Amino acid sequence: MINLILFGKPGSGKGTQAEFVKNKYDLIHISTGDLFRNNISNNTELGLLAKSYMDKGDLVPDEVTIKMLESEVNNHPNAKGFIFDGFPRTTVQAEILDQFLITLKLSISMTIALEVDENLLIERLISRGKDSGRSDDQDRTKIQNRFDEYNKKTSPLINYYKNQNKFFDVDGVGDINEISYRIFNTIDNNI
């Protein structure tokens, strides 16, 4: 079983590459953003709880997020593995995820970070924002704040996985297929 965590700053191509990895290795892609949207739109107990925090402008507590994630993993008992996208975002969340996976006799196989220069990412996001209409992708200050938040929260997380020899960075610049090839090579050579 392969269990991957995909890292990358906004605009790095995580969502696109997660689809390719999911299809090649027959994995279940778990995006926390999708989990929140699905739980909220289906008015699940966890969705309503998450929405109550979000409506107040508060972050959804780790316990609520991990319960959604646990539920999603448990809904796929015959999965060949999982791609976790958007979780964990902190070392505490990584420890919680590890503890949960241990109860299923599973573990994270590896983490892959798509590395792209921030200036290039800003151009990608602004272009994406024009096409999608997403306001958070059209404002350079908001984009930089997202990068700063990512850098602050994920650096300890990167060290957490480096200490377990489970962290790999992949050049996220170039043709989409070239990037996929780099990711596949990283997986095939290290699992």
Give dist(CA 156, CA 75) in Å, integer: 30
Burial of 148 (0-12, 13-18, 19+ CB in 10 A): exposed
CA distances from 138 to 10, 43, 44, 57, 129 (A): 12, 31, 32, 21, 5
As beta bridge partners, residue 4 has 83, 110
Q: What is the 3-state secondary structure (H, E, C) of 72-87?
A: HHHCCCCCCEEEEECC
Q: Is 28:22 a contact under the CB 8 Å cutoff?
A: yes
Select which of 51, 67, 146, 153 is catalytic: 146
- What's the first-to-final CA gap in the chain, in angstroms? 10
Q: Please report, as a single letter, which amino acid is at residue 108.
A: I
Q: Is 128 a catalytic residue?
A: yes
Q: Is 146 a catalytic residue?
A: yes
Select which of 14, 22, 124, 182 is catalytic: 14
Q: Please report, as a single letter, which amino acid is at residue 16.
A: T
Select which of 128, 142, 153, 166 is catalytic: 128
Q: Is 89 a catalytic residue?
A: yes
Q: Is 97:66 a contact under the CB 8 Å cutoff?
A: yes
Q: Is 14 a catalytic residue?
A: yes
Select which of 24, 37, 80, 134 is catalytic: 134
Select which of 67, 89, 142, 153 is catalytic: 89
Report, as residue numbers or ranges, the catalytic residues.
Answer: 14, 89, 128, 134, 146
